[in-house]
A and B are shown apart, each in its own frame.
Chain A
Amino acid sequence: MIRQPDPKPDVMARRDSIVAGLRALLPETGLIAEPLRLKPYETDGLSAYRQVPLAVALPETTEQVSAVLRFCHQNGVRVVPRGAGTSLSGGALPMEDAVVVGMMRMNQVLDINYPDRCAIVQAGVTNIGITNAVSADGFFYAPDPSSQLACMIGGNVNMNSGGAHCLKYGVTANNLLGLKIVTIDGEIIDIGGAHLDAAGYDWLGLLTGSEGMLAVVTEITVRILRSPEGARAMLAAFSSNEIAGGAVDAIISSGIIPVALEFMDRPAIHACEAFAHAGYPLDAEAMLIIEVEGSVEEQDRLLAQLSEICQKFDPISLKISQSPEESAAIWKGRKGAFGAVGRISPDYLCMDGTIPTSQLPLVLRRIQEMSDSYGLKVANIFHAGDGNLHPLIMFDANNEASFHAAEDFGADILKLCVEVGGCLTGEHGVGIEKRDLMPVQFHAHELQQQRALKSAFDPDWLLNPSKVFPLLEPEAVELPQAA
């Protein structure tokens, strides 16, 4: 079990009065404190770690969030914000003495404004829920993490989630205009609005990706975009990772920025094909899914150019989708990749480093060597255009040694990402999973500077305090204050 800060004895001792105090602030069913009903909140998408919280609050309004946070602040109670609990880095993992503030009851789309191309939604609206609310009018919300059917926009903001189409449309941070936040002392603050540029400091940018450590986000103003006339995918298979990497370079150099450029290695191809029957080439070592947008004629022209580029890399096969159904089939395998790997191995860790794309062949070769030496299989899926790598490490959760080996293997991959000029996490967040690897990427004083910024928002370190930053040793536990 990963280390958590010790529960505060005074909070544990006052458990009943804290529960009663919170119950008085919330609607009748808005507070959970019964052990059996707390159980579902003990973990998130990183299910290897579990901790039942002290209580779960389910506010329905920003004012209730404010009341809960003010109460927790006055009583020195730690708070862990939670959306749908899909975090793959353990961002919503509770602590024994913490109140989980779950946003799932704040699930309303409050306003849609097409002339200004924005929508105001509550934090508990699912990612796909935004697109669903505007798709009949031809609009969509761009960031599309794989968990988009379940994950909530509040969680996306806190993790700065990405997706397969970031290369063109950017990540969450690039698609937000405003936030309503509640600080730990219960203050409700509006950040930004429906306009593009803020006047003072970029609070919107700092809060996005802050992993629930600075404030609780209750409402979000998102940009909505008009859907393109159409989109179509092609599939290109190659005889080695190096050759496929060369094709990626050549595509980017051509001036074409596909809306998506996904890379799968041999184990990923096989896992996904067995699951989705998408017609993936099983004799290939590496495969690209390339998607373009525009009118039918524009798609034809771009796909023809892309085919010409891929031809120079001696492809094993090239398949241009001829219909929306064929495009859907090509994507089905990729989008079902996690489920597909889950069929081969019930337990896997999904890693999330980013590397300079030129380093891909080297990194995949080193990962294969690690796979051999750890004796654990790995499948690699890669947002090739933006360098975001997702190795899926397969292990057996019933075997503790296998789990620890998988963790070590994952840490080695992330260290390798940093070594070649990349970073520990591209879109999943640091959470608890990569917390102790932060010194690989940052100097001690850099982490201390980031901690001081947290202190400016949360001087008592009550908001999600065990995440992102390595725990300070007891003798050094005095937290930096923002002077």
Chain B
Amino acid sequence: MTTEDSIVALVQDAIRTREPLLVQGNGTKAGMLRPVQAARTVSTSGLSGINLYAPKELIISAASGTPLPVIENALAEAGQHLIAEPPDLSDLLGASGKPQTLGGVTATNLSGPRRVAWGAMRDHVMGIRAVTGRAEVIRSGGRVLKNVTGLDLCKLFTGSHGTLGIITEITLKVLPAPEATGTLILPGLDAVVAVQALSAALGSPFGVSGAAWLPPEAVARVPGLAGINGSATLIRIEEFAPSVVYRIGRLKDQFAASNAITLDTPASLAVWKDIRDARPLAAAPEDAVWRVSTRPSSGPGVLEAVRSAGVAGFLDWGGGLAWLAGPADTATHAAVEAAARAAGGVWMLVRAPDTLRATVRVVPDEAAPLARITRGVKAAMDPAGILNPGRLYAGL
């Protein structure tokens, strides 16, 4: 049986033998970033269960191997939800069978459409326990919503992809789930005009919590958008029911679009779940998949820049997140890199054959002075370099 102690023992052993460990939960995201060459695997999937749930304090704490659906169901029973709306990319990543874990979405800092308004996973991790590469259990944060006691290792571990420590327990801030969800769809806009509309919506006083643009071929992949010809610009409101009606109405007036369409709660939930999980992305099984994060107004330029390389996708986060798919080769990857860099943004190679992801920069290189700090921090947390070596950067 897996316990935190058994993970400590495994790490001690790995330090002694200098044998790298592949760190994972249920392994649904093993296809992300660079492949890890490791003799042994340490899985947190045996660390499962909710340790504390205090709905009135907006706090839930669970072992890192807890399947995410278990967390989501417990929250739903109390009328609450995960604020960052983490996606389930299992299908995209070709992972079948076991569900993703709480530790998995935390270690990869994956957030969904609501991120544009309410923050990322990293914004809601209030406490963490992890086994470091020194085989020590350390804690950061706690079980309260405001905490500035010491350096914030919660944020350092979140999104560190198992390279700094093996997360064993996570405490999250949660919020009441909205009573209703509504969506305003503006059909037929090109990407540039669409992002201007999304910026206007996000810059309105109406608390927009989702803002995406799908080109026609992406619209066709979303069952809830059947009947819409051409592109769809989607604006979401999550609120008490009367507020959803009021705010969608005000936004509709603002855009004065005679062909605007509105979706009710069930239709909205289905459509935004598909967007969350990148289902509008037309990715052939052999294609590579990227996420590019830029300032929102640069999103359309990224799509335009990669088009000639055979890469297509859609925009979330008001234009600030481009989901892209295209040929899995170095030239295409270089085109995505160039487009992201030209837009002042960053890329992440989400999926590709091992041969490609082992040879390219799956995330941007850091400037030399920062790369030095990165090596120092890695050495401080994992002096033997045994945790997910090479996952983010070659040689680290």
Interface residues of A (CB under 8 A from B): 113-118, 138-139, 159-160, 162, 166-167, 170-171, 173-174, 183, 185, 187, 189-191, 193-206, 208-210, 226-229, 249, 252-253, 255-257, 294-295, 297-298, 301-302, 354-358, 383, 385-388, 421-430, 434, 438, 441-443, 445-447, 449-450, 452-457, 459, 468, 480, 482-483
CA distance A386 to B144 in the complex (A): 7
CA distance A201 to B161 in the complex (A): 9
A sample of 7 cross-chain residue pairs with beta-carbon separation below 8 angstroms, ordered by A number, consists of A116-B320, A139-B203, A167-B145, A198-B293, A255-B177, A423-B144, A483-B376
Task: List the 4 closest A-B pairs by CB distance, nearest first.
Answer: A205-B155, A456-B376, A187-B369, A199-B363
CA distance A438 to B150 in the complex (A): 8
Out of A114, A117, A387, A429, name the residue touching B145 (CB < 8 Å). A387
**Residues of B contacting A187 in the complex (Cβ-Cβ under 8 angstroms):** 369
For chains A and B in complex, what number of residue pairs have CB atoms within 8 angstroms?
Answer: 263
Mask for B360-383, Cβ within 8 A of A = 1, else 0? 000110110110011011011101
CA distance A190 to B368 in the complex (A): 11
**Residues of A contacting B367 in the complex (Cβ-Cβ under 8 angstroms):** 189-190
Distance from A118 Cβ to chain B, minimum over Cβ atoms (Å)? 7
7 additional contacts (CB under 8 A) given A167-B145, A195-B295, A209-B152? A139-B203, A202-B159, A226-B204, A256-B176, A383-B146, A445-B138, A457-B373
Mask for B234-246, Cβ within 8 A of A = 1, else 0? 0000001011001
Inter-subunit contact A356/B144 (CB<8 Å): yes
**Residues of B contacting A189 in the complex (Cβ-Cβ under 8 angstroms):** 367, 369-370
Q: A115-B196, A196-B321, A197-B111 are in contact. Are A253 and B380 (CB under 8 A)?
A: no
Q: A457-B376, A483-B379 are in contact. Are A387 and B57 (CB under 8 A)?
A: yes
Inter-subunit contact A298/B150 (CB<8 Å): no
Interface size in chain B (residues, C-beta < 8 A): 85
CA distance A171 to B155 in the complex (A): 14
Out of B79, B132, B373, B383, name the residue touching A183 (CB < 8 Å). B373
Q: A198-B159, A202-B109, A422-B144 are in contact. Are A456 and B151 (CB under 8 A)?
A: no
**Residues of B contacting A114 in the complex (Cβ-Cβ under 8 angstroms):** 199, 203
Q: A454 — nearest CB in chain B belongs to which residue?
A: B151
Does any Cβ of A come within 8 Å of B296's Cβ? yes
Does any Cβ of A come within 8 Å of B207's Cβ? yes
Distance from B316 Cβ to chain A, minimum over Cβ atoms (Å)? 10
Q: A426 — nearest CB in chain B belongs to which residue?
A: B146
Q: B125 — nearest CB in chain A belongs to which residue?
A: A205
Inter-subunit contact B136/A195 (CB<8 Å): no
Binds A, one of B90-98, B112-120, B214-222: B112-120
CA distance A255 to B76 in the complex (A): 12
Distance from B196 Cβ to chain A, minimum over Cβ atoms (Å)? 7
Out of A173, A445, A457, name the residue touching B123 (CB < 8 Å). A173
CA distance A193 to B292 in the complex (A): 13
Out of A185, A426, A445, name the residue touching B147 (CB < 8 Å). A426
Distance from A309 Cβ to chain B, minimum over Cβ atoms (Å)? 13
Residues from 219 to 260 in B contacting A, C-beta threshold 8 Å: 240, 242-243, 246
CA distance A459 to B119 in the complex (A): 33
